[in-house]
Structure 1
């Protein structure tokens, strides 16, 4: 019988009382009720703790909050200060500093109209941060699922950031990015590349600007001079600029202020390929004929990944989402335990070649029978032995070959169920053009394969993988051959004579996957940021038709799996310890 109040029960005849409803114990309903009760309990508990902490907030904490905000250039109104204290009350005393820094970082990303803050912007940011924290608490094990351990990011959805040299901060571009940009987009491409390296260089103690008459640092004075300031100056100077050929046979260095013709004939250079379009540091002096005689030339020095991340924490340069400190630590622990996870990476899978298909089946048979199957197979183009537009009269024949590949994968039951398959197009595969980044393989080609392998992933070239905390960039391009052809000066052999090591040094110092002239390798102007390598990732895969190689440079693991169809080479990569196993049939 329903629980009516006693007075009301006496006024209603017993015969008119509603019958007691039947009790239905639906498991899903019970589960939802328990989850709801748990959320309500947690919410009330957090609120009670917050109220207790807020009452205990001392004048010391209030003064610290106001001081921290003033250091960032903000002034707090009374209601804004109360909102900040309310936010901090949700955290234990030993975490107040981190919570306050996080709040300030997030406020810095907002487009604030004034430096005098009222309650509204503070409340907005604080609410978002508390909701994010609550979501992490309610799903503590979500990060260990396979879906969150491996995330593939297409080049066309990589966030775009632009550096503001006045505020010395990166701002995320939130507007549209059309494929066909206007003329200003091309100029912006070069400006963004230059500013990216310039802001990195500005933190290097060897090239920091000296304050007034400060004593020379232990490295000596290597202050960078704007090219515009070279007019009428004598003596040796350091300049930074893009190598360009404004006139046939005459090379120039350009920065944001001017351009100057340079003579590189007697320059001493560092490791790397010095090609047109690369950004270099040059030491030299102006000659009477207006030409800058270069004595020493090298790429801008690198910065540790940790240092870059510390300066711009909270910005998602890589794509795939931002991780909190707690999530990063938890994923790092899971990553250490993932000793059996392995990626098998193959390049040049010619589907029109029976020998290649036979070799591929041999590899699949081998991994089907191991104790723990690989987590990921990366199959990179080219998927045809000849450039597509020249060899195939009909796209349907290639569609059939992809279907056969799908049948081959599906016949290996353990691999089909427990491994993922990632497909990346090559430079000569079917597509709208040879421009970078290249879009994924057309759906018409791959839909037969997807019927057999539903969990197959088709991504762009280049593409990015985040595996737990590791950042991996995959790029299929015959880059080594083209960079060597574009060299203006023969590479230095003082440190190494290996062309692959020169290539790795070039792209890492340039923070760009393809620093070739745009005339030789077109790039979609508005998507050049998808080829940036900043902050430096943990691993870079430079798939190339040249010889199989692996090289670790300044903490970055780089390797070329070789051409599978040509010489049967491939790579087995263990991300937990960045171990590269060069393999071949």
Structure 2
């Protein structure tokens, strides 16, 4: 299509094209001709031209625009080329530039109104994060944490290309970053202080208060200061690693020292190689080693959360869900406010917002206000059902699940149903017919759900793979199950999501961090100092919370993708930490850095519910939790 024809076509619609817009259109139709082997029919040209014009109209903020901007035309072309799940983000970017071109100024009152609406939306939505692309990267500057949101890929093809093990420097940074985060987190509390310079800050400014705090707080020394300690008992923070077999060392950012663990005792948790610990002991000049008497896993002081609905900016959202709501819905809400102020002339902006709302679900935001199924229920009645070892290739598993759904459809109204792997018994699948066998199991599962249409069509279904499930490498973060196997089930179930492992969710403002991995067996086996505390599950929960990492084991035991280690880190405790492990019975604890007493559970202290639903396949157990009530029910069939 030549330039004269393009100008004529846009003029017929009442638009004037700038030269740069004309260049973009000419280049697009030239590429289209090349893609079709220089054979392109007038009907094809007409169809593409109509779609571009339709997109141009949708992307306009005001009806009266005559001279088209470059960003509008460029965006209209990209809408034809981008995958469906990227359309909404592109439109928001175009609208942002459009409003900027028009010098639209949102005053303080309007900005406050937008934030209030976002706060309200966050408390009424389910937010599912794309773990590898939407988990914030935590940075430390001047001993203060902040976050960076780096979208690593836009399309599925780009995602496949970017999932690599990373450079050698990424492997080193994995452990440096973990130590840096734990040190920063400890320095924010009053239980520990680092060096004499920080002692006054932690102890308090009031003399009486300072003396009291000085007795309660513990100084943490750099490992390099051990050499001149002259037999004084010291307390150090560092990571343990192994040199030659049997020789252990402790290291911080600057120094390392050989350690003697013969007299060391551990109170709670599992200490392995690569664990970050607080060690108390004396440096022995003769041995040239730090003789440790006590090893402690770090304990943190969580902030009191008096008003969880208050929205934080992206820079302080260490989980990522609130930032996603702000990123996706913030511009949409501004457009709604803008269209309301424009009256009839805002009709096109209103059409755009309706279109974007339809795309919210594809981008991982499920607005409960748009579903009448849940509006008849009290919010405190909303529940989340969690199943692990949900072997859909096993008919006995499906039979048990059918009995549960019969009860749920008549008596309970689940908001979210989380199913975790392993979904397929890989050892029993014939490699020659893997797709046929897997599709048959998926069809059996779909046929079961079709019997319960109310649950099928209204619940939010989430599938979290086991690390050894089909699709992707057996490392963390584990990619989602192959989408091509679930094409039919996604076309029938409106609220169905395949997610990665680990998975991050926000449900009605409550944060969920979910992992399906068998760690307990390896943690117990790899202990370098035996912990005699008999509660295995409590030791496990304490280890994960203290290390601020979902896989605190040597990389040779539990490999991870180095440059995606941020997906396993967490700075603040989530509201719900789901650790599904086949080697443990069902359990649940209410913790901060310890199991809380009944009085502490009722206080405003930031609480974390740590739970394992158990194995549904082997022991027929699962867990039902009520996010807003903070109530957990352990169930079995």
Is the structural similarity TM-score above 0.5? yes
The answer for the alignment partner of 2:404 in structure 1 is 363
Equivalent residue of 1:349, what SS? coil
- CA positional deviation for 1:376: 1.0
C-alpha change, 1:232 and 1:455, in structure 2 (3 Å) is: same
**Equivalents in 2 of 1:388, 1:409: separation in Å?**
25
Cα displacement string for residues 23-48 of structure 1 (whole angstroms, at most 9, x for unaligned residues): xxxxxxxxxxxx99xxxxxxxxxxxx
Which of residues 101, 108, 112 is equivalent to 1:133? 112
The superposition leaves residues 347-405 of structure 1 with CA deviations (integer Å, 9 ceiling, x where unpaired) of 111122211111111111121111x4211111110012345778775232112211221
2:524 equivalent to 1:484: yes
Does the CA contact (< 8 Å) of 2:416 and 2:461 recur in 1?
Answer: yes
- Maintained 8 Å contact 1:382/1:428: yes
Contact 2:133 2:150 in 1 (8 A): no
Distance 1:184 1:299 in 2: 27
Whole-Å Cα distance in 2 between the matches of residues 304 and 185 of structure 1?
29
Q: Is the 8 A contact 2:385 2:625 kept in 1?
A: yes
Does the Cα contact within 8 Å between 1:373 and 1:414 map onto a contact in 2? no
Offset of residue 484 of structure 1: 1.2
Mapped partners of 1:194, 1:213: distance in 2: 21
Residues 198-221 of structure 1: CA deviation (Å, up to 9, x unaligned): 001112323224349967644356
- Higher relative contact order at CA 8 Å, sep ≥6: structure 1 or structure 2? 2
Give how far 1:141 is off.
6.6
Report SS of the residue matched to 2:192: coil
- Correspondent of 2:588 among 536, 550, 564: 550
Deviation at 1:171, TM superposition (A): 4.6
Structure 1 residue matching 2:322: 3-state secondary structure: coil
Q: Hey, what does 1:205 align to over in structure 2? A: 190
3-state SS, counterpart of residue 369 of structure 1: helix
Name 2:501's counterpart in structure 1: 461
Deviation at 1:435, TM superposition (A): 0.8
| 2:319 matches 1:318 | yes
Contact 1:464 1:472 in 2 (8 A): yes
Q: Secondary structure at the match of 2:560?
A: coil
TM-score normalized with structure 1 length: 0.70
Deviations 1:288-314 (A, max 9, x none): 22110001210112121448999x965
The question of whether the paired residues in 1 share the 8 Å contact of 2:147 and 2:318 is answered with no
Task: Report 1:140-159 matches (<5 A).
Answer: 142=121, 148-159=124-135
Gaps of 5+ in 1: 1-34, 37-123
Question: 2 CA distance for matches of 1:376 and 1:577?
Answer: 15
Alpha-carbon distance in structure 2 between the residues aligned to 1:243 and 1:156 = 28
For structure 2, the residue ranges without an aligned partner over 5 or more in a row are 1-60, 63-102, 154-161, 201-209, 331-367, 369-374, 593-606
> Counterpart of 2:635?
583
Q: Distance in 1 between matches of 2:199 and 2:253?
A: 26
2:471 is equivalent to residue 406 of structure 1: no
C-alpha distance in 2 between matches for 1:256 and 1:307: 32
Q: What is aligned with 1:564?
A: 616
> Per the alignment, do residues 128 and 531 of structure 1 end up closer, same or farther by CA in structure 2, a change over 3 Å counting?
farther
1:219 equivalent in structure 2: 215
Give, in whole Å, the separation in 2 of the partners of 1:368 and 1:561.
Answer: 21
Q: Which residue of 2 aligns with 1:196?
A: 181
Shift in CA distance, 262/456, structure 1 to aligned 2, threshold 3 Å:
same
Check the 8 A contact 1:276/1:516 in 2, yes or no. yes
163, 173, 185: which is aligned to 1:179?
Answer: 163
Would the aligned equivalents of 2:265 and 2:529 in 1 still touch at CA under 8 Å?
no
CA distance in 2, matches of 1:544, 1:139: 36
Alpha carbons of structure 1 residues 200 and 384: separation in structure 2 relative to 1, 3 Å:
same
Equivalent residue runs for 1:1-16 within 5 Å: none
Give the number of aligned pairs: 450
**Residues 167/481 of structure 1: CA separation in 2 closer, same or farther (3 Å cut):** closer
Aligned match of 1:284: 281
1:266/1:295 contact within 8 Å kept: yes
Contact preservation (8 Å) 2:236, 2:279: yes
The 10-residue stretch of structure 1 (183-192 or 387-396) with the greater mean CA deviation from structure 2 = 387-396
Residues 310-361 of structure 1, C-alpha deviation per residue, up to 9 Å, x if partnerless?
Answer: 9x9652211123489xx9xxx9xx9x95111011111111122211111111
1:159-178 residue CA offsets vs partner (Å, 9 max, x unmatched): 33343353634252648584
Alignment partners' CA distance in 1, 2:215 and 2:539: 26
Partner secondary structure for residue 423 of structure 1 = strand
What secondary structure, in the 3-state scheme, does the structure 1 residue paired with 2:129 have? Answer: strand
Larger helix proportion, structure 1 or 2? 2
1:535 pairs with 569, 572, 585, which one?
572
Answer whether contact 2:240 2:251 (CA < 8 A) is retained: yes
Q: Is the 8 A contact 1:407 1:452 kept in 2?
A: no
- Distance in 2, Cα, partners of 1:428 & 1:315: 34
**1:435 equivalent in structure 2:** 475
Are residues 1:422 and 2:474 paired? no
Q: Distance between the aligned counterparts of 1:129 and 1:437, measured in 2?
A: 41
RMSD of aligned C-alpha atoms? 3.3
Distance in 2, Cα, partners of 1:128 & 1:387: 62
> Superposed, which structure 2 residues align to 1:48-87 within 5 Å?
none
TM-score, with normalisation over the residues of structure 2?
0.65
Q: Is the 8 A contact 2:138 2:566 kept in 1?
A: no
Q: How far off its partner does 1:270 sit?
A: 2.0
Is the CA contact 1:158–1:318 (under 8 Å) kept in the aligned structure 2? no
Deviation at 1:449, TM superposition (A): 2.0
Matches of 1:455 and 1:239, distance apart in 2: 50
The structure with more radius of gyration: 1
Q: Could you say which residue in structure 1 is the equivalent of 2:140?
A: 164
* Distance change (3 Å), C-alpha of 1:390 and 1:337: same
